[in-house]
Each structure stands twice: as structure tokens, then as C-alpha cells.
Amino acid sequence: MHNKQKLIKAGFFAFSAILVLVVATVAWFMSANPADTDGINSSIVHGKYKAVLFESPDANKDGIQDKDIDGNVIWNEVTDPGVAITNMVPGEIHFYKIEVTTYAASITLDLKLNNIQTTIPAGSAATKADVLGRLHVYFETKDSSGNPIAGTSTIDSSMLAFFGSNPDLTDKTVYHMDLTLYTNQTFTIYYNVSIDANHSAADNIIQGAGVNIGTINFTETDN
């Protein structure tokens, strides 16, 4: 990931400040119209496209993707309908990717986050803005040649900035992708979540706080 270096600060994970970030019950849906919605586990298989979700482990929580014995980054297909991220520490990064395969149809895909909820522990002085401002999100798209999908740009910011500085936001469109030029191809959407490295591990204002993304949706329309 392009932002790996600035997301990692040596020694952060050795401190005790822990954010409980929960991204739970992440269900995948596809819809060509309001009546055509199917819930599945890790993948969407449809006559016009296919999408599969993967997660890359970071077992020692150092912000670097784990590799296999041959030195290749490990990507595991997510087969559970929910994705839970808990007990994050500064410097740790949760890595994901979505592999999308298009077919002959010319389509537009919207990637959306829905039913977003930020929770604050009882008695905490933190606000939703405090929590979202200390989380970092990164999104990028790459076609089979490693170039971004036309019309998309890298998102590299705090979650609060990504939400347009609205801590009460419940739904967010990540990408609106016109795939007219990408029929019969495979491309990848990479994204990760971390505690923003600009905040010290001693900053424990968000201990016990959580963010829940109820669903991640692909909505398809014909061009």
C-alpha cells in the first residue's frame, strides 16, 4: 500500500492504548434494481459481474501484511458473512481487497458503506468526531495493468474527513465507477483501516469505542 510508511510508527503497538473497532455483520449485496437484491457470503456472482472479498492478515500487528514461505503476500478469501475487527492498536492495519470481474455487459457499479454506527462507551469523554478523527481509511482501485479505474482516485484520510466531517453520517458512497471501458476484465479495489499514526498511543480517549459498518453494497446499473 502506498500509505504504509506513514501509517506505521515504530513502537506504537507496544503501548497499551487500544481501540475496539468493530466492523461487524458486513453483508454483501448486489442489486440491479430495488427488487433484485441477493445476500451472499464473500462473493457476488451475477450475470454482469462477479466480486470476491479477501483479507490479508497482520498477525503481529506491525502494520505490514504477512507473507507465505515464498515471500508472497497472503490473501485469504473471507467466507463468513461478517467481518469483525477488534482490539486494534496504533500501527496495526487491517487490509482488504475486492476482486471484481466484469463480463460483456457495459455497467456502472457503486461501492457503498451503509448503516454506519459509531459507539462510545458509557462514561467516556470521547465524541463520535474524536473516534472517527483517529481512524484512518485508505481506498484505491487498480486494473489488470496496475492503473486506477478511470474516474476513481485514491482515498487516504481520516475516517472523519472521508465522511465529510459529519460524525453522524450513516451511509457513504466510496466509488461510482463507469465500467464502459472495462468489460471482460478483472480489477481490484484495495482498502485498509487503521488507527491514524498522527495520534499518539498515549491518547486513550477512544479506548472501548467502536465503529460498525452494517453492510457493504455493490449497486449495478446498466449503461
pTM of the model: 0.79
**Residue 124 resides in a domain:** yes
Residues 6+ apart with CB under 8 A from 15: 89, 90, 201, 202
User: Residue 116: which of 65, 179, 163 has the closest Cα?
Assistant: 163
CA distance 115 to 138: 19
**Residue 96 resides in a domain:** yes
**Residue 13 resides in a domain:** no
Confidence (pLDDT) at 25: 35
pLDDT in tens, 130-141: 888 888 899 999
**Residue 33 resides in a domain:** yes
Domain of residue 142 covers 20-222
Sign of the torsion angle spanned by Cα atoms 34, 39, 43, 44: negative
Residues pairing with 157 in the sheet: 137
CA distance 75 to 77: 7
Q: What's the total number of domains in the chain?
A: 1
**Residue 193 resides in a domain:** yes
CA distance 57 to 85: 11
Residues pairing with 112 in the sheet: 173, 217
Sign of the torsion angle spanned by Cα atoms 97, 55, 65, 88: positive
CA distance 146 to 142: 5
**Residue 165 resides in a domain:** yes
**Residue 84 resides in a domain:** yes
Confidence (pLDDT) at 13: 28
pLDDT in tens, 39-77: 334 556 567 898 888 999 988 888 899 999 999 999 998
Confidence (pLDDT) at 215: 77
**Residue 15 resides in a domain:** no
Alpha helices in the chain (DSSP H): 4-7, 128-133, 159-162
Confidence (pLDDT) at 93: 86
Over the chain (223 residues), the average pLDDT of each successive run of 10 is 38 36 43 36 67 89 91 87 60 88 91 85 84 90 95 94 95 94 95 76 67 82 90
